[in-house]
Structure 1
Amino acid sequence: MMRRMIKPAAAMIAAALCLMFAAGAAALENDGDCVYTLMDENGQVLTMRAGRMYPGDEYIARDDRQYRVVQVDDGTMTAVAEYVGQDEGDTEALAAFRAYAEETVEENAEDGKKLICMYSTHSDECYVPSDGESSKWEDAGIYDVGNRLKKELEKQGITAVYSEETFLPHDADAYTRSRSTAEELLKKGPDALLDIHRDAIPAEQYETTVEGDDISMVRLFVGRSNQNAAANKAFAREIKRVADEKYPGLIKDIYIGKGNYNQELYPQALLLEMGTHEIEKEKAMGAAEYMADVLDEVLFGGSAKAEETKTEKRSSAASGIAWAVGLAILAAVVFAIVSTGGLKAAGEKMKRGASELTGGLFGKKNKK
């Protein structure tokens, strides 16, 4: 009797622990109102983040210096990070991603399909200078930014799907609610899945100028607690590399934090922080133009690369046809020689064959 009672009790305890773990994992993904400051071991401020920092989090700065969080003080909302070295990325993961991107370029040259899917887990996010407040349950500013990115991607010849589903309230369960939308979008077979957000730290952390335009920087956020973390990081690093080459100052940094943010669903899943609540929405929308070009370059090789690939394929096809025709002619000549027993007779036979095939256009002298 005692054993029968123990089994249900154990099951209940296990279930409770699972629920506690799930709740804890969700809490990691809730930005909240707290802003933590990250410093190096000398006390120099590296960056800020809306949401708690955890030991083991990684940070890749604008200059590619990489840090790892080693200490967190919740009382002062500060964290200390040790310098790891200059970021060179996971070479195997980067190589795998670049191989995937090259394959994608070739496939898209054949079928013309280029697809990026997007959604916004925090459906209330707004930009105070433009929207009047930081949060709205209807007509939130984040959707204006997402739609601008969609439009700019389409200008690049990319099909962009942006779900405007809402996942309110902005709490620890928002990512659980947005998961089903992410899964539905993945059924379309996109080349990337992007969750569009805005940060909640001071405006000066995001202000930048790119090619003379005053715009917002973009933070790339990776959830490290998932099986795709290496691939997600490789994707983020490649975006930063291309952006740094084409549009220096566009990418603020890469933060690799505890949690999964639904990124375990797909290797090319990423969270984009398009500016912050204190910056003008128009600056975040301005950043979308440059981000679209960078994403096109990273995922599809850019329009120039795509056209180059198409030209190579056309050239290869034409060359193949020429070879096939040449071999067919050679085979016909050899056959004629063998079947007639001599070059002269073979020549006469080839003339007759050509005349029959072309209606007498070849091998016939003009009448004077």
Structure 2
Amino acid sequence: MKIKKITRALSIGMMLIGIGIIAHLSFSPGILPAWNPAAFLEGEDGDHMVGKVVNILDEEGKAISQACRGVAVGDEIINSKGQHYKVVKVDKDLATVKSLGKDNRLLAWQDYFTDDRLEMAAATRKNGTVGVYHTHSAESYVPSDGSESVPFNGGIYDVGQTFVNRLEKKSGSQILYDKTPHDPHDNAAYQRSRRTSMKLLEQNPIALIDVHRDGIPDPNFYRANISDTDVSQLRLVIGRQNPNMEANLDFARRMMAYANKVHPDIVKEIFMARGNYNQDLMPTALLIEAGTHTNTKEQAERGVALFADAVPTVLGIEGGPAAGAQTPEPAITGGEGGGWRAVGWILGLTLLVGGGFLLISTGSLKGASDRLSNIGKEFTNYLGPIRNRIGKKPDSTKEKSKKNVADRAVADHRDDVTED
């Protein structure tokens, strides 16, 4: 009886995990569950974790950047000078990057944004609006707000309002500013803000911008004097776990290229992090970090105001290349997301079918173990004859079988002698 209970619990657990993975992969973006086992299996870390800083160095030990999020191997950075780096090693609070050289696409956009180009594009100005919201609505600035976090009413709202006011002035359009709070500050906040994003999408914006502040303790990391103004610089963040990543990244490149042309170095870098950040909803979705919690809120407000000067032009609502403008350089295709997605489907279906089979089956724990073993063999066969690719190994099963036959023969002979 006890064995059956264990088997049932195991089967139900397998089915729930399988359903969660399949739901994560197949449900439409707007109805993803607020919690799903797939996110747990991915091992996602929170971002803007005040007090947790990862120092990012190159292979020679030179400081490249910092982050207060879970940095992972595969994350990438493109700085304002066009230098492109990729994280190759992470050891607790230290990450190592290797240089990928200059980012040619960013350089191409920098060349594209010439005065002649912008004048020619001014005649094609179109109507459009931008959606603005805050996933982490409690984020605040210690020198101005007295705390790094003010639940449901963080100082980030003042920064967002300044950003919206400047956008409206520059574009001549009304900006869609949704102030829905999404507390608490946890991984599920992005699922809660997803509903806000979907609501904004109903009003057909041409871009969605999620405004944050960072959590790096050093105020000098973002502090700068730009256009004769004491400001906090911005960082643009793009999620790597997102089918729209290339389009979102190209939008970020355009924004950094033109914003830094108008106000040099107002955008510090583009950070490609592990995550989605709801950027799969549209190719012009962007997460911006306006300074950090140790900067003053006023510095952050002045920083986003300068950044806002560039947004309408890049989007084509104040002259300039439209949101759908083609990159001035051939696109590079490819990626590893599709392969992992396929593995996720296989794993999810295997767990679901295997759990259901166990649930309706009866018998001993050994029987359940045999069934699980068979499911594992089927999963391996589905992935392909991996063993044949890496070299044929000795067939230990046949050797064991021959040994067992020999042992039985010896035993039978011994029994015959005893009987005689």
TM-score by length of 2: 0.64
Shift of 1:302: 3.3
Alpha-carbon offset, residue 288 of structure 1: 2.2
Tell me, what secondary structure is at the counterpart of 1:254? Answer: strand
Q: Which residue of 1 aligns with 2:261?
A: 245
Shift of 1:261: 0.5
Q: Is the 8 A contact 2:49 2:215 kept in 1?
A: no
Letter in 1 for 2:59: E
- Which residue of structure 2 aligns with residue 126 of structure 1? 140
Structure 2 equivalent of residue 268 of structure 1: 284
Partner of 2:380: none
Query: Secondary structure at 1:159's aligned position in 2?
Result: coil
How many Å separate the matches in 1 of 2:208 and 2:12?
Answer: 42
Q: Following superposition of structure 1 onto structure 2, how do residues 1-368 of structure 1 map, counting pairs within 5 Å? A: 11-15=15-19, 19-25=36-42, 27-33=44-50, 34-74=52-92, 77-89=93-105, 108-109=125-126, 113-156=127-170, 157-201=172-216, 202-300=218-316, 302=318
Separation of aligned partners in 2, 1:265 and 1:16: 20
1:106 deviates by 6.9
Distance 1:145 1:88, change over 3 A: same
Letter in 1 for 2:178: S
Structure-1 separation of matches of 2:274 and 2:46: 8
Q: Which runs of 5+ in 1 are unaligned?
A: 95-100, 307-368
Are the equivalent residues in 2 in contact too, given 1:242–1:298 (CA < 8 A)?
yes
Q: Distance in 1 between matches of 2:96 and 2:39?
A: 27
Per the alignment, in what secondary structure is the counterpart of residue 304 of structure 2? helix
CA contact (8 A) 2:152 2:182 kept: no
Q: Distance in 2 between matches of 1:141 and 1:215?
A: 16
Contact persistence 1:26–1:175 (CA under 8 A):
no
C-alpha deviations, 1:234-275, integer Å up to 9, x for none?
A: 000001111221111201100001110100111000000011
Once residues 26 and 125 of structure 1 are traced to their aligned partners in structure 2, the CA distance between those partners, rounded to angstroms, is 23
State the one-letter code of the partner of 2:232: S
1:191 to partner: Cα distance: 1.1
State the TM-score, normalizing by the size of structure 1.
0.73
What is the aligned partner in structure 2 of residue 339 from structure 1? none
Letter in 2 for 1:229: M
Contact map agreement 1:195 1:270 (CA 8 A) in 2: yes
- Work out the CA distance in 1 between the residues paired with 2:12 and 2:62: 54
Distance in 2 (alpha carbons) for counterparts of 1:209 and 1:252: 13
Q: 1:301 to 1:139 in 2, by over 3 A?
A: closer
Distance apart, 1:70 and its partner CA: 0.2
CA distance in 1, matches of 2:108, 2:197: 27
Contact residue 195 and residue 272 of structure 1 kept, 8 A: yes
Once the two structures are superposed, what CA deviation does each residue of 1:304-334 show, in whole Å capped at 9, x if it has no partner? 899xxxxxxxxxxxxxxxxxxxxxxxxxxxx
Over residues 161-208 of structure 1, what are the superposed CA-to-partner deviations in whole Å (9 max), with x where a residue is unaligned?
111100110011110111010011011111110000000112101011
- The equivalent residue for 1:340 is none
The residue type paired with residue 199 of structure 1 is D
Whether the 8 Å CA contact 2:152–2:183 is kept in 1: the answer is: no
Aligned partner of 2:100: which letter?
V
- After superposing on structure 2, the runs of 4+ consecutive aligned residues of structure 1 that deviate more than 6 Å are 4-9, 90-94, 104-107
What's the CA shift string for 1:271-306, capped at 9, x where partnerless?
A: 000111000100111112211111012112635899
Whether contact under 8 Å (2:182, 2:189) holds in the other structure is: yes
Query: How many residues get paired?
Result: 293
Q: Distance in 1 between matches of 2:304 and 2:189?
A: 24
Residues 44 and 15 from structure 1, CA distance in 2 versus in 1: closer, same or farther, beyond 3 angstroms? same
* RMSD, aligned CA: 3.0
- Alpha-carbon offset, residue 131 of structure 1: 0.5
Contact kept, 8 Å, 1:105 with 1:301, in 2: the verdict is no
Q: Percent identity?
A: 35
The equivalent residue for 2:383 is none
- Distance in 2 (CA, whole Å) between partners of 1:63 and 1:136 is 35
Matched residue type, 1:232: N
Deviation of 1:211 after TM superposition, in Å, equals: 1.3
* Structure 2 counterpart SS, 1:143: helix
Asked if the contact 1:26/1:176 (under 8 Å) is kept, the reply is no
